């Protein structure tokens, strides 16, 4: 068995709105590297956005700083296919440049997924990642619906294998995998494909540890866990008890208790530091079994409803989410579809009339600009939203003009390199403001140095 640790990415994304800074990570890295993790999932997902938007940190520097400290474990990131780490589809030239830069900065493994399991949205990212020599893990976005059968998932895995992935991940964002389904799916994937299988789940509705045991029994090669201070709740199952159990069976060496004790103490303090963002989930939420809300979406939705003084509407929203999901063709709920479905569900509840207000993202989704839905969208809803306009039937990325050179002209001297250029392309005005602040901060430092250099020297 191999373990991927998610503490530095999905763990804090699910539990404290991704607020952990690089300064909270650095003291723990050497101890984490001694525990025996196969990989540290430490980048991608919401970390890119939050680092810039809220923490005033360069996400590229985060990779480099972690790479300096971590010598044994591989560094892994999560990539949303044509969405990269943003919320829209980016042009093919942007996708290729982004993948090259993450490889150059120190990423070893890239887990690539598409929210709709539309393989067309993965083609460019996988192709470039393979050219860069990265280990490409193709992820299946897992959900439960009338169309998401065992054969559906095996058919999609076949497409991933044809695209050249090196391993397959079952990405269960909402923790919906039952032990029975975990066993069947892992066993079927292992029998049909000669590739390692990784299982990723959450504990939101209580099934996570049960699903992992069944997956291990079925022959899973890798599982994703978090260190206990950032495990459970809307996060992953905890590393320590699962590793201990396997070590007692003689399948793994004894745990490194010294390192684990230090890490437990360190990350307990880190989580307490961000108490204002903590989802504070002290028990499971069985409603996720029907609402299918993923961990990060749940914590963010709670915070947003609190800010709008609408937390009392949570139950109604959780009931509305699966209805919107069905209307839109049963998309798995993971970024960006989780936001698309979740925001529309909130609007439906707020207005009292379903689809009286429709977001631009829902309109783009119905038009096909995010990809091909798993099942046909309700025709009446298509007509209500698009009128006489017809949905597209090509790979969405083909409709996006190259954007690198135009962006380079727009941002000018504010972007000193390709990494900074990508911050601007992916985050738009938020990225531009970050680069402006960095530019003027550096300018102030340079001016101070010039003043100091030009200061007259008085003889003794």
Domain of residue 97, CATH code = 3.20.20.70
Are residue 55 and residue 177 in the same domain, yes or no? yes
- Does residue 460 lie within any of the structural domains? no
Give the tens place of pLDDT for each residue, 346-370: 889 988 889 999 999 999 999 999 9
In this predicted structure, what is the pLDDT of residue 454?
A: 61
Expressed as residue numbers, the domain containing 407 is 403-454
Distance of CA 154 to the CA centre of its chain: 23
282 part of a folded domain: no
Angle between helices 59-69 and 418-454 (to 10 degrees): 90
Burial class (CB in 10 A: 0-12, 13-18, 19+), 448: exposed
Nearest to 60 by CA among 70, 68, 51: 51
Residues near 35 by Cβ (< 8 Å), separated by ≥ 6? 5, 239, 255, 256, 259, 260, 263
Q: Give me the chain's average pLDDT, please.
A: 93
Asked if residue 166 and residue 122 are part of one domain, the reply reads: yes
- Residue 457: is its pLDDT beyond 70? no
**Residue 446 scores a pLDDT above 80:** no
Instruction: From 277, 308, 329, give the residue that closes a domain.
Output: 277
DSSP letter assigned to residue 238: B
Q: Give yes or no: residues 244 and 104 share one domain.
A: yes
Asked if 225 and 300 sit in the same domain, the reply is no
- In angstroms, rounded to a whole number, what is the distance separating the alpha carbons of residues 267 and 8? 10
Co-location of 173 and 219 in the same domain: yes
Give 118: exposed, middle or buried? Use CB within 10 Å, 0-12, 13-18, 19+: buried
CA distances from 367 to 22, 301, 385, 396 (A): 39, 25, 9, 10
Q: What angle do CA 414, 56, 173 make, to 5 degrees?
A: 115
Co-location of 204 and 87 in the same domain: yes
> pLDDT (tens digit, 9 = 90+) per residue, 61-76?
999 999 999 999 999 9
The string of pLDDT tens digits covering residues 322-352 is 999 999 999 998 888 988 998 899 889 988 8
Question: Is residue 157 in a domain?
Answer: yes
50 lies in the same domain as 92: yes
Other CB atoms within 10 A of residue 409 CB: 7
CA dist., res. 329 & res. 148, Å (int) = 11
Identify whether residues 78 and 219 lie together within a single domain.
yes
Same domain, 41 and 162: yes
Asked if residue 459 belongs to a domain, the reply is no
Residue appearing with tokens 């340079």: 446
106: Cβ–Cβ under 8 A, 6 or more apart, which residues?
63, 64, 66, 67, 75
**Residue 339: predicted pLDDT:** 87
| 442 and 355 co-located in one domain | no
Q: What does the pLDDT read at residue 442?
A: 79
The predicted pLDDT at position 299 comes to 66
In this prediction, residue 177 has a pLDDT band, given cuts at 50, 70 and 90, of very high
In DSSP terms, which residues pair with 79 in a beta bridge?
112
pTM of the model: 0.91
- Asked whether residue 151 falls in the same domain as residue 225, the answer is yes
Cβ pair 363, 386 in contact under 8 A:
yes
Quickly list H helices, 252-411.
Answer: 257-273, 288-291, 295-307, 314-327, 337-351, 360-367, 379-386, 404-411
């Amino acid at each position: 068995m191999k373990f991927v640790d998610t503490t530095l990415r999905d763990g804090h994304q699910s539990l404290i709105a991704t607020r952990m800074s690089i300064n909270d990570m650095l003291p723990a890295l050497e101890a984490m590297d001694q525990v025996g993790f196969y990989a540290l999932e430490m980048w991608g997902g919401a970390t890119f956005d939050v680092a810039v938007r809220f923490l005033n940190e360069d996400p590229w520097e985060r990779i480099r700083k972690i790479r300096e400290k971590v010598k044994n474990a591989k560094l892994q990131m999560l990539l949303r296919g044509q969405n990269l780490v943003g919320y829209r589809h980016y042009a093919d030239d942007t996708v290729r440049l982004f993948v090259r830069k993450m490889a150059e900065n120190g990423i070893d493994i890239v887990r690539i997924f598409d929210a709709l399991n539309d393989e067309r949205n993965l083609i460019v990212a996988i192709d470039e990642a393979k050219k860069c020599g990265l280990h490409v893990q193709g992820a299946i976005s897992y959900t439960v619906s009338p169309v998401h059968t065992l054969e559906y998932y095996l058919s999609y895995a076949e497409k991933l294998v044809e695209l050249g992935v090196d391993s397959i991940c079952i990405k269960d964002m909402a923790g919906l995998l039952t032990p029975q389904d975990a066993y069947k799916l892992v066993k079927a994937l292992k029998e049909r494909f000669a590739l390692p299988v990784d299982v990723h789940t959450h504990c939101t509705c209580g099934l996570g540890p049960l699903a992992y045991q069944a997956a291990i029994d079925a022959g899973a090669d890798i599982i994703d866990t978090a260190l206990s201070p950032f495990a459970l709740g809307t996060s992953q199952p905890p590393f320590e008890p699962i590793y201990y159990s396997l070590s007692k069976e003689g399948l793994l060496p004894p745990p490194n208790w010294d390192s684990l004790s230090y890490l437990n103490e360190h990350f307990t303090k880190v989580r307490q530091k961000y108490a204002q963002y903590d989802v504070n989930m002290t028990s499971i939420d069985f409603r996720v079994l029907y609402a299918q809300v993923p961990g990060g979406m749940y914590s963010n939705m709670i915070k947003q409803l609190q800010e709008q003084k609408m937390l009392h509407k949570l139950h109604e929203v959780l009931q509305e989410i699966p209805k919107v999901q069905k209307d839109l063709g049963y998309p798995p709920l993971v970024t960006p579809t989780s936001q698309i479905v979740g925001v529309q569900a909130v609007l439906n509840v707020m207005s009292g009339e379903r689809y009286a207000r429709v977001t631009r993202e829902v309109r783009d989704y119905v038009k096909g600009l995010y990809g091909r839905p798993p099942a046909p969208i309700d025709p009446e809803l298509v007509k209500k939203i698009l009128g006489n306009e017809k949905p597209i039937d090509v790979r969405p990325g083909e409709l996006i003009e190259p954007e690198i050179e135009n962006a380079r002209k727009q941002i000018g001297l504010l972007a000193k390199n390709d990494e900074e250029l990508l911050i601007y392309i992916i985050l738009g005005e938020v990225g531009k403001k970050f680069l402006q602040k960095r530019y003027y901060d550096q300018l102030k430092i340079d001016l101070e140095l010039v003043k100091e250099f030009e200061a007259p020297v008085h003889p003794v």
